[in-house]
């Protein structure tokens, strides 16, 4: 029977019509998404940095040429210093404005103004610590010349901001977060500098952690986790035991820098190099993210020609070389912070006891603006020692509190030193510049074309009235006051040593007879020892040797620990995979190559060893404050092998029991992560590098801003550093900048910046250096104008 179209339509199920309606709706949504995506792409394209043609900056006095070479490195050539620094501010802002704004906001405690309630506690922390207040005080003590540089740089940033706002061409991140950046100021640059001092200095959190230990564990057990026994231990530990402060409630949520923040650097004398002139190598270890913390630049004007890297938002070149000298840094990580126990007047909460009298503290208004919410009233209390840190997380006045004294909270002039580095022509001039570099204390290595190589641990390192105590000290007793700083002439210094090289890697840099206290918490010695081993292994070293060493994967911790731990494993109690894992470790060459299973097993074993010792004993919230945990655990193992098992190892059943239990747990964890087929286990699949963008935490923006993840070798203790988040395995720490300089030709250097130069997601320089960074390759940065004049050229001109 033939049916009409009408009859067919009448008999069709209603769900077909719903299906048709749904398809129309889906199509409509897709059209909207396409339109939205097109609009978003157009906005992103519109905000791409202009790298060719001509742009006008009204305050310039003469035209400036800003070239970008094929790796996105700006080569800025100006006729005077004013125009040079203005152009540096402008060009850096083109590539990194969102990063610059977040950096100043985080350090200033102003994130909540644009983010909202989620960052209030972090803002309270940084408002309390007072990095911006310290920057404001520092600006006042700078020379007129340095103040001019800061203002010129700010003028350049603001010229970019004015133009970008006018053209509605700010980076897309500002649109997504929903705000526009304010004008840049000289204090913003100095605040970023103070944040880097925070990121690289301190140990206050270790003092707080040890106070927690003293309050919660028997004395012997607490002292077992101290980096060293205080010389005045009985007295100071007694005072700490009397102090009742809830460290977990008060400080567990404090912002604590990565404990592996540090670096490698070394210099080699011409007598040991193939070129006959010194080599210098430097690779600072900080957080790995998109964009890089470093921005590579060349600055050229009459009287100055310098190339290297700087933090986005700061003028000059912090690490690099000019036409005569080169320099690099690692962190000394000295004890420059002390927590003081303060007794509050129960009648007047703004007064604190000192030498038998009540002394009025300074109260500072630090009200916190919060996006879409009311401003939060907030006051910071500052005693004679510094801000009270134990009340930022809980705004409640206690009778006993902790204040922080820290060199970086005093006025300091690091930028002045940097500007002098940039022009230095020899060691004496460079050393004079170091008199202005106060914080963070750094291990500087230096090389010059005249053949000089040198080293200096430089910065303000306090001398205490009493020996360093490892725990908070009484703030009411003047005998615990600082008595000044290590005399400048007594800071550790080496010039042209007979070995023909100098190397540092945050290791112990002083001998037993050094008169002054620097720190008890040196980095594990493995990176520094490996560098020395390699530099000693040849009579003549090449630039290629330097590059290979910066990427070196040899794990000397495994070389030390496995001969101790492997014989303790009870083979007859192992399951089949545990036996295979044991053999994998026995056959290993101790290199943290990404293709191997052994690095996965060993590095997770070291984590599990600590977990077996401390879990369910030390509150998990306190582990963030456990400064130097890796070094402490290494020492517990060493002492145990000498028959000196401490209480933590004993209570866990002894070294053999801890080794077996942690080994078994490690294998089970690897099976959970990568399956039971041992042939498929490998370090790289777990140890991947995402180069996270600040907005990547907001899904699905990670798909837009994060580069493709890359498998990585190396570890925390290899020269080619690659630290990771223990919860995820993701690599988040290492040398975002690596440089090698041959002083025989200072017109070029060998460099890599991970992931790339630009912070703009559509830029060809956004993540173009990841492959080089993850494989140990470099680009050549040539400072001769002939090498980059044919590349992209932007001319910045004054108003006609």
Residue whose token pair is 């952690």: 209
Strand partners, 329: 444
Measure Cα distances from 248 to 258, 293, 337, 413 in Å.
19, 31, 20, 35
Q: Is 365 helix (H, G, I), strand (E, B) or coil?
A: strand
Q: Is the peptide bond before 440 cis (omega within 30 degrees of 0)?
A: yes
335 is in an annotated binding site: yes
Are 744 and 275 a contacting pair, CB within 8 Å?
Answer: yes
745 is in an annotated binding site: no
DSSP category for residue 117: G
Measure Cα distances from 244 to 239, 247, 398, 625, 788 in Å.
10, 9, 10, 18, 64
Name the pairing type of β-strands 731-734 and 722-724: antiparallel
Residues in the chain: 800
Phi, psi of 99 (to 5 degrees): -60, -45
Tell me the C-alpha distance between 758 and 69, whole Å: 13
Tell me the C-alpha distance between 121 and 128, whole Å: 10
Cβ burial, residue 78 (10 Å; 0-12/13-18/19+): buried
Are 570 and 664 a contacting pair, CB within 8 Å?
Answer: no
What's the number of CA atoms in the CB half-sphere (13 Å) around residue 646?
Answer: 19
Tell me the C-alpha distance between 246 and 265, whole Å: 40
Tell me the C-alpha distance between 569 and 574, whole Å: 9
Which residues lie below 8 Å from residue 699, measured CB to CB, with a gap of 6+? none
Largest separation between any pair of C-alpha atoms in the chain? 111
What's the number of CA atoms in the CB half-sphere (13 Å) around residue 377?
Answer: 1
- What's the CA angle centered on 251, arms 245 and 253, to 5 degrees? 150
DSSP category for residue 13: -
Please give the torsion angle defined by the CA atoms of residues 442, 443, 447 and 452, in that order, rounded to the nearest 10 degrees. Answer: 120
Q: Which of 263, 610, 664, 758 is catalytic?
A: 263
DSSP category for residue 592: -
Are 286 and 754 a contacting pair, CB within 8 Å?
Answer: no
Of 333, 337, 437, 347, the C-alpha closest to 385 is: 337
Element (H, E) at 739: strand 737-742
Name the pairing type of β-strands 64-68 and 688-689: unpaired
DSSP category for residue 409: G
Q: Please, what sign has the CA dihedral across residues 241, 243, 247, 249?
A: positive
Of 582, 617, 618, 621, the C-alpha closest to 602 is: 582
Provide the token pair at 143.
Answer: 């020379």
Are 340 and 382 a contacting pair, CB within 8 Å?
Answer: no
Tell me the C-alpha distance between 340 and 385, whole Å: 7
Tell me whether residue 263 is one of the annotated catalytic residues. yes
Q: Please, what sign has the CA dihedral across residues 86, 89, 95, 101?
A: negative
- What's the CA angle centered on 729, arms 723 and 731, to 5 degrees? 40
Q: Is 210 helix (H, G, I), strand (E, B) or coil?
A: helix
Tell me the C-alpha distance between 305 and 746, whole Å: 11
Are 281 and 266 a contacting pair, CB within 8 Å?
Answer: yes
Tell me the C-alpha distance between 545 and 551, whole Å: 10
DSSP category for residue 591: B
Q: Residues at the annotated binding site? A: 335, 338
Q: Residues at the annotated binding site for Ca(2+)? A: 335, 338
Active site residues: 263
């Amino acid at each position: 029977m033939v049916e009409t179209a009408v009859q067919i339509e009448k008999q069709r199920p209603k769900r077909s019509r719903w299906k048709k309606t749904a398809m129309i709706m889906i199509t409509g949504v897709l059209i909207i998404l396409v339109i939205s995506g097109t609009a978003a792409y157009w906005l992103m394209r519109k905000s791409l940095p202009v790298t060719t043609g001509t742009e006008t900056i009204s305050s310039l006095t003469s035209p400036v040429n800003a070239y970008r070479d094929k790796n996105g490195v700006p080569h800025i050539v100006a006729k005077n210093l004013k125009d040079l620094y203005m152009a540096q501010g402008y060009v850096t802002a083109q590539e990194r404005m969102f990063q610059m704004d977040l950096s100043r906001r985080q350090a200033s405690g102003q994130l909540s103004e644009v983010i909202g309630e989620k960052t209030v506690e972090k803002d309270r922390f940084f408002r309390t610590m007072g990095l911006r207040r310290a920057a404001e005080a520092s600006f006042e003590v700078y020379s007129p010349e340095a103040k001019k540089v800061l203002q010129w740089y700010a003028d350049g940033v603001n010229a970019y901001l004015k133009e970008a706002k006018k053209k509605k061409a700010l980076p897309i991140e500002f649109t997504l977060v929903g705000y526009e950046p304010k004008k840049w100021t000289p204090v913003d640059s100095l605040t970023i500098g103070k944040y880097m001092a925070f990121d690289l200095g301190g140990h206050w959190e270790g003092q707080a952690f040890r106070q927690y230990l003293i309050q919660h564990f028997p004395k012997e057990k607490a002292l077992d986790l101290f980096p060293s026994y205080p010389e005045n231990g009985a007295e100071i530990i007694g005072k700490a035991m009397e102090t009742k402060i809830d460290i977990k409630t008060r400080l567990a949520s404090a912002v604590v820098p990565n404990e592996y923040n540090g670096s490698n650097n070394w210099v080699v004398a011409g007598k040991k190099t193939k070129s006959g002139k010194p080599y210098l190598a430097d690779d600072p270890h900080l957080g790995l993210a998109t964009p890089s913390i470093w921005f590579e630049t060349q600055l050229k004007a009459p009287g100055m020609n310098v190339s290297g890297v700087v933090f986005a938002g700061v003028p000059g070149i912090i690490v690099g070389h000019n036409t005569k000298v080169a320099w690099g840094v690692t962190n000394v990580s000295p004890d420059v912070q002390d927590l003081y126990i303060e007794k509050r007047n129960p009648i007047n909460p703004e007064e604190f006891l000192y030498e038998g009298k009540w002394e009025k503290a300074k109260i500072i208004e630090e009200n916190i603006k919060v996006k879409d919410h009311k401003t939060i009233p907030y006051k910071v209390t500052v005693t004679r020692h510094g801000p009270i840190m134990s009340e930022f997380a809980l705004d409640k006045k206690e009778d006993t509190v902790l204040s922080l004294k820290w060199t970086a909270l005093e006025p300091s002039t690091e930028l002045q030193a940097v500007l002098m580095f940039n022009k230095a022509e020899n060691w004496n001039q460079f050393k004079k510049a170091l008199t202005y570099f106060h914080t963070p204390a750094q291990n500087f290595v230096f090389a010059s074309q005249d053949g000089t190589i040198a080293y200096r641990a430089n910065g303000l390192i306090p001398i205490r009235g009493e020996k360093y105590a490892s725990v908070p000290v009484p703030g009411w007793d003047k005998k615990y006051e600082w008595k000044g700083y290590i005399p400048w002439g007594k800071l550790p210094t080496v010039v042209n040593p007979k070995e023909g090289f100098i190397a540092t890697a945050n290791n112990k840099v002083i001998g037993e007879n050094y008169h002054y206290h620097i720190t008890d918490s040196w980095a594990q010695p493995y990176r520094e020892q490996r560098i020395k081993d390699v530099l000693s292994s040849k009579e003549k070293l090449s630039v290629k040797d330097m590059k290979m060493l910066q990427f070196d994967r040899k794990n000397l911790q495994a070389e030390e620990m496995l001969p101790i731990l492997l014989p303790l494993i009870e083979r007859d109690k192992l399951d089949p995979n545990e036996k295979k894992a044991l053999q994998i470790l026995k056959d290993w060459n101790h290199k943290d190559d990404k293709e191997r299973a052994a690095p996965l097993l060993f590095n997770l074993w070291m984590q599990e060893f600590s977990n077996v010792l401390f879990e369910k004993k030390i509150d998990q919230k306190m582990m963030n404050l456990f400064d130097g945990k890796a070094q402490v655990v290494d020492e517990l193992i060493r002492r145990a092998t000498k028959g000196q098992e401490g209480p933590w190892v004993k209570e866990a059943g002894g070294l053999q029991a801890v080794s077996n239990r942690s080994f078994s747990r490690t294998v089970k964890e690897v099976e959970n992560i990568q399956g039971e087929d041992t042939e498929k286990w490998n370090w790289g699949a777990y140890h991947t590098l995402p180069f996270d963008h600040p907005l990547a935490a907001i899904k699905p923006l990670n798909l837009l801003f994060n580069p493709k993840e890359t498998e990585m070798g190396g570890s925390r203790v290899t020269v080619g550093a690659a630290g990771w988040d223990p919860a995820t395995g993701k690599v988040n720490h290492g040398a975002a900048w690596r440089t090698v300089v041959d002083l025989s030709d200072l017109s070029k250097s060998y460099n890599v910046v991970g992931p790339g130069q630009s912070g703009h997601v559509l830029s060809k320089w956004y993540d173009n250096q990841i492959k080089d960074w993850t494989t140990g390759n470099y680009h050549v940065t040539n400072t001769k104008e002939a090498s980059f004049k044919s590349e992209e050229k932007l001319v910045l001109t004054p108003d006609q």
